[in-house]
Amino acid sequence: MEDKQIIELYWQRSEDAIRETDRAHGQKLHALSFRIVHNNQDAEESVSDTYMEAWNQIPPVRPNFLFAYLAKICRNISCSRLDWLNAAKRKADLVELTSEMELCIPDSRLEQQMEGQEIGRLLSRFLDTLPKESRLIFMRRYWYADSIREIAARYGMGESKVKTQLHRTRNKLRQYLEKEGIAV
């Protein structure tokens, strides 16, 4: 089923929407999440949370690129889960408590998300200044978390070229952020 048809299912509030989404993009979303959390169960939960988030947002949202839209949600959830896993080791009951407490905060992620959105805008502007090849390699490495070898195989180029491109792009990003007054 094509993405447009899947989006229509969301708009019709049909539960087939999630089943078709999983069929079309489930594996790629799971792979993306697994690269971030490095845990199969966490990756599965991240993908499930992604479907739930998409179900809540569509409608009124109508994504132009369904996979990119889902992948953004999935990546964000996976990063949040990674933060949670890396937090100070807490006891299970404490975890449960803190989770419950969070429900009392109007939007506990607002500040963090605003910050993330601002960073995202900066990065989008920076990526637009790059040549296409550099942009694709940078995105595959730092957005999709692909390995150097995977990127080299994907684009039919040597690993050394991928490394060189990434090194140059990182230097450009540092200069760009300094110019924008952001210390890294």
Partner 1 sequence: MNGKDLFSGMSFVEERLVNEAETERPASGSFAWKRWAAIAACLCLIVLSLYTGILRPEQEMTEGIAGQDAADSMPIPMPEGGNSAELQQELMESETSPDEGCPLQEVPSVILLVEEMTDSGFTATVAGVADTDVFEIGTALNVVMAEDVRHETPDGQFDVTAETGIDYSGLCVEVQFTEYDEETATIVVNSIREVTPPAHR
Contact positions toward partner 1, by CB under 8 A? 63-65, 67-69, 71-72, 75-76, 79, 83, 115-124, 127, 132-133, 135-136, 139-140, 142-144, 155-157, 182-184
Measured CA to CA, the distance from residue 132 to residue 175 in angstroms comes to: 19
Shortest spacing between CB 180 and partner 1, in angstroms: 11
Shortest spacing between CB 4 and partner 1, in angstroms: 14
CB distance 150 to 136 below 8 Å: no
Shortest spacing between CB 12 and partner 1, in angstroms: 23
DSSP H helices in the chain: 3-11, 16-37, 40-57, 66-86, 92-102, 110-128, 132-142, 148-155, 159-179
Do you find a cis peptide bond into 60, omega within 30 degrees of 0? Answer: yes
Q: Of 25 and 51, which CB lies nearer to partner 1 in the complex structure?
A: 25
- Going by the DSSP 8-state scheme, the letter that residue 63 receives in this structure is -
Shortest spacing between CB 9 and partner 1, in angstroms: 20
